[in-house]
Amino acid sequence: MPHYPKIPPRLSRIFTNNPAFFVTFCTHRRWKVLATNSVHLAFVKFAVEACEKHNIAVGRYVIMPDHLHLFVCGPNDLMVGNWVGMLKQFLAKAIEHKRITDSIWQRGFFDHLLRSDESYAQKWNYVRENPVRAGLVTKAEDWPYSGEIIMIDRV
Q: What CA–CA distance (Å, rounded) separates 43 from 58?
A: 10
DSSP per-residue letters across 50-67:
HHHHH--EEEEEEE-SSE
Q: What is the average per-residue pLDDT within 35-60?
A: 94
Residue 105 pLDDT class (50, 70, 90 cuts) = very high
Q: What CA–CA distance (Å, rounded) separates 144 from 62?
A: 9
CA dist 85 → 12, 80, 107 (Å): 24, 8, 10
Q: Per residue in 67-81, pLDDT tens? A: 999 999 988 778 899
According to the model, what pLDDT value does residue 102 have? 67
In the chain the domains, ranked by start, together with CATH numbers, are 20-148 (3.30.70.1290)
CA dist 78 → 21, 26, 127, 134 (Å): 10, 21, 23, 32
The yes-or-no verdict on residue 104 having pLDDT over 60 is yes
Identity of the amino acid at 9: P
The answer to whether the CB of 73 falls within 8 A of the CB of 20 is: yes
Q: Per residue in 3-17, pLDDT tens? A: 434 444 433 333 446
Q: What is the chain's mean pLDDT, rounded?
A: 85
Q: What CA–CA distance (Å, rounded) separates 77 from 136?
A: 37
According to the model, what pLDDT value does residue 5 have? 41
According to the model, what pLDDT value does residue 8 have? 41
User: SS3 for 110?
Assistant: strand
- Specify the higher pLDDT residue, 34 or 114: 34
Q: What CA–CA distance (Å, rounded) separates 114 from 36?
A: 28
Ranking 32-41, 49-58, 59-68, 110-119 by mean pLDDT, the lowest is 110-119
